[in-house]
Structure 1
Amino acid sequence: GELVAAEAGLARPADEAVWIVVTGLGTAALLVVGRYAAIEAISVILVGTFTLVTVVALAMLQFDPAWAVSLRDVAGGLVPAVPPSTGGRSPLATGLATFGIIGVGASELMVYPYWCLEKGYGRAVGPRDASTAWAERAKGWLRVMQLDAWASMVVYTTVTVCFYLLGAATLGRLGLRPEGSEMVRTLGAMYAPVFGDWALGIFLVGAFAALYSTFFVAAAGCARLVADGLILTGAIAGDDASRARWARRLAAAWAIVAVLLALTIRAPVAMVLASGAAQAIMLAGLAVAVLWFRYGEMEPRLTPSRGWDVLLWVSTTGFIVVGLWTAWQHLADAVASR
């Protein structure tokens, strides 16, 4: 009753369309005038805020026996089992559809090299040559990137697990399902047992941090990807100034298109699942590209150890299996719906 009442009591926004427009246009303006330092600072603040809010909420939940997550609950969740279908959709299909965006999604993996370059990773390595000094400098920066990747994995895995446990302990026990325009209101109810009347405000801070950081970084990163694609096709000049100028324009356009889609479709859950499915399919192509670079383009002096190769193959195999399965599932659904 307490959580259901809290969920029912969360106020609807006066006009969500206004917030969509304000957020989108504000993001477009930030991306037009901002540089890497601004993008990095905003992202760190947003991700740090959401991580702190979620971890604290889960920890405080443990002090209430009615909502606490026990070791038995965790162990039961690790037993392989597929829940029954709900609403005509298999939970397995939903899980795999979100595989492409959980933690670090396909788009983040593709634009990560841009952030490495703009952060300055490898700047001191210099142009490749046959010297031993160059190889040692390159190996040093590869170790920095490995540390960066491991640290990122710890952060996103921790916050994802905490968010899942928080949802299972509250929404799952009461059968509340985030759907349609009620998604944010329902998710906000997860925080009611801990923060009470403050639940909506606390969740909105965390939700804004998580969702907006994704939107903000995706617009900035994908704009750089598209700009490079236009350079490769000869549509725009390839000098640094032209590339930077077009990246800013495309980032603003990306944000505006997102606003138009949000205003037109008005189905956030469906849009998230569609994005997840598309990125899950992209993972298969990304895996093939990574293998090509590893075995076709790798500098011999930087060849990784056998252990890294094993991890690479395990990862790419998972990418390919999930990508192909997701593509097949959506094709089968499209055929069945005719």
Structure 2
Amino acid sequence: MASERAEDVGREASLEYPETDWRGFFESHFGPSMLWALISIGGSHIVLAPTLGGTFGLAAIWMFGLIYLAKYGAWELGIRYNYGVGSNPIEGYRDLPGPKNWALWLTILVFTVMYTFITASVGMSTAAFVAALTPEWFTAAWAYVTFVGGAGVLVLVSRYSLLEKALIGFTVALGVLVLLGVVVGPPSQEVVLETTFAMPDLTGPVFVGLFAAAAGFAPTGFSTSILIGSWSMAKGEGASELHEKGLDPDDPKYHDYIRAWIKTGRRDFNIGYVFSFLLIVAMVILASNVLYPNPPTDANLAFAIGNILSESFGDWSYYAMLVGAFAALYSTVITLLDGSARATGDILPMALEDESIDSERVRKLVVVGVVVVSSATVVALGEVPVTLLLYVAAILAVTEIFFYPANWYVVEKNLPEPFRPSRAWHVYYVVSLVLVLIFGAMGAAVRLGFIG
């Protein structure tokens, strides 16, 4: 008995606590949140924010603020689970009440079917910017097949790290440029006074359709709590180390360790979340200044977005914006392809309870399937980047609600008692879930034709 206690103390002493100072945090722990943020700096920031800003002016900031406030809980619960339990929330979905593994199959459906159309919508917007930078004969349809097909090849061979770094570099540069653009060229006093507190027609088809789309796509869909869980767990931090060492997370003597890691994971995510929100606000401000009251359309998307910095920096910024927007959208396409395929490959063996399934083969099949089906969809629909993205985003407002209560359930069921949500968090989750359900009802009303 004494030898067991001594061994346990030795293992406890070797636990790696997170760095507490900011320098140590950025050197050792920062990262998953920015990968997540890069997904959001795609359709929501490049297409939706200018569309809402161009339509409603600065009032769109309040709309996005409500969306970000309401949706935060789903990812907060996922982060709490990642670091407090030491695994991806998807593993806890096997314990959800109902038919066996139904939640796993629903998640697979989201990562295959829904992500095919998400890829199509973001990819079509990407193609619109490519077409604006290339000769007229290189149409958006050709650009989609070329670049999304190329992204599929890169993901299949997993040799896109250099390209990914370049795309991230351009995206970060775009973010800095957009934030500076707000400082250099803020909206006129007339636009500020006219739109900041203007109340749109809350039951009108324009508001309901655009708000539902923003609620579905901004900052991302709830399913990305599974993706950020994979990135977080890949770092091998949090309670996962306890499991590796054969230690019990429910043992009170390890609670300080778990508490420190949950705090670190939440700090990382909060940085990415705030960065995403600040950038979407900046895009709304620029759109209010340059585009209002004429939002971008399918025909002029690239031209309108390209000119969003023109009043701040002049004509040269047109091409800088086109390149930056392309990089942001294309990095999102690559991340969507890679993330959805890897998630499906990881989940399918759990759903079928068959560990002999080759996850890598599943991953490759999903990549090929998403590229082929999304390309056929784009060719069939023609060049409608704004329309398609708004349509898919409104559907997401309905289909991805499931992940929020699912994350809450597995947190309450699996976390050690001290790390389960407090009463104040419970009140927040209930209120935000009600708002998310209203967002979903708005999306359903638009797509079913009740409003339009």
TM bucket, shorter chain: 0.7 to 0.9
1:110 deviation in Å? 3.9
The match for 2:393 is 276
TM-score by length of 2: 0.61
* Counterpart in the other structure of 1:105: 221
Question: Relative to structure 2, which stretch is displaced further, 199-208 or 295-304?
Answer: 295-304
| 1:11–1:196 CA distance, 2 compared to 1 (3 A) | farther
Match of 2:177 in 1: 53
Q: TM-score, normalised by structure 1?
A: 0.79
| Alpha-carbon distance between aligned partners in 2 of 1:328 and 1:98, rounded to the nearest angstrom | 15
Are residue 156 (structure 1) and residue 280 (structure 2) matched? no
- How far off is 1:207 after superposition? 0.9
Residues 114, 35 of structure 1: alpha-carbon distance in 2 compared, 3 angstrom cutoff: farther
- For residue 283 of structure 2, what is the amino acid of its counterpart? F
Q: Provide the C-alpha distance between the structure 2 equivalents of 1:315 and 1:12, rounded to a whole number of angstroms.
A: 44
Q: Is the contact made by 2:167 and 2:328 (CA closer than 8 Å) also made in structure 1?
A: no
2:94 equivalent to 1:94: no
Moved more, 295-304 or 53-62: 295-304
Deviation at 1:146, TM superposition (A): 0.6
Match of 1:33 among 149, 157, 173: 157
Q: CA deviation at 1:248?
A: 4.1
Contact map agreement 2:168 2:327 (CA 8 A) in 1: no
The reply to whether residue 242 of structure 1 matches residue 366 of structure 2 is no
Hey, what's the Cα distance between the residues in 1 that align with 2:252 and 2:320?
54
Query: Which residue of the partner structure matches residue 231 of structure 1?
Result: 349
2:319 counterpart residue number: 201
User: Do the aligned partners of residues 322 and 309 (structure 1) sit closer, same or farther apart at CA in structure 2, a change above 3 Å counting?
Assistant: same
2:231 maps to which of 115, 126, 135: 115
Paired residue type of 1:281: V
Equivalent residue runs for 1:1-338 within 5 Å: 13-14=135-136, 15-16=138-139, 17-34=141-158, 41=165, 44-62=168-186, 68-70=187-189, 73-74=191-192, 77-79=195-197, 81-82=199-200, 89-122=205-238, 123-127=240-244, 129=248, 130-172=250-292, 175-234=293-352, 237-238=354-355, 242-266=358-382, 267-333=384-450
For residues 299-318 of structure 1, the C-alpha deviation after alignment (integer angstroms, 9 at most, x for no partner) is: 32422333333333333222
Q: Tell me what 1:3 maps to.
A: none
Q: Give SS of 1:209's match.
A: helix
Cα distance in 2 for partners of 1:243, 1:69 equals 55
Q: Distance in 2 between matches of 1:53 and 1:256?
A: 35
User: Compared with structure 1, are the counterparts of its residues 93 and 41 closer, same or farther at alpha carbon in structure 2 (3 Å cutoff)?
Assistant: same
Moved more, 88-97 or 271-280: 88-97
- Greater mean deviation of Cα atoms: 149-158 or 274-283: 274-283
Residue identity in the other structure for 2:274 = V
Shift, 1:13, TM fit: 4.5
Higher relative contact order (CA 8 A, sep 6+): 2
Aligned partners of 1:191, 1:149: CA distance in 2, in Å?
A: 29
Q: Is the 8 A contact 2:200 2:207 kept in 1?
A: yes
Q: CA RMSD in A?
A: 3.2
Pairs aligned (count): 314
8 A contact 2:309–2:321 mirrored in 1: yes
**Partner of 2:223: helix, strand, or coil?**
helix
Alpha-carbon distance between aligned partners in 2 of 1:166 and 1:181, rounded to the nearest angstrom: 20
Mark the CA change 1:11 to 1:303 in structure 2 (over 3 Å): closer, same or farther: closer
SS at match of 2:151: helix
Contact 2:178 2:283 in 1 (8 A): yes
Kindly provide the amino acid, as one letter, of the partner of residue 251 in structure 1. V
Letter in 1 for 2:341: A
Offset of residue 280 of structure 1: 0.6
- 1:162 Cα offset (Å): 0.3
In 1: Cα distance, 2:163 partner to 2:252 partner: 35
Cα deviation, 1:82-138, whole Å, max 9, x if unaligned, reads 1599xx942232122221111233332342212222243434342562433444333
Question: Structure 1 residues 152 and 75, CA, compared in 2 at 3 Å: closer, same or farther?
Answer: farther
* 2:222 aligned partner, one-letter code: A
Distance 1:138 1:215, change over 3 A: same
Q: Which amino acid aligns with 1:90?
A: V
Question: Which letter does structure 2 place at the counterpart of 1:323?
Answer: G
* 3-state SS of 2:401 partner: helix
Cα distance in 1 between the residues matched to 2:434 and 2:232: 25
Does the 8 A contact of 1:57 with 1:191 survive in 2? Answer: yes
Distance 1:226 1:41 in 2: 25
Change (3 A) 1:44 1:203: closer
- 1:226 offset after TM fit, Å? 2.4
Distance 1:322 1:233, change over 3 A: same
Distance in 1, Cα, partners of 2:162 & 2:230 = 15
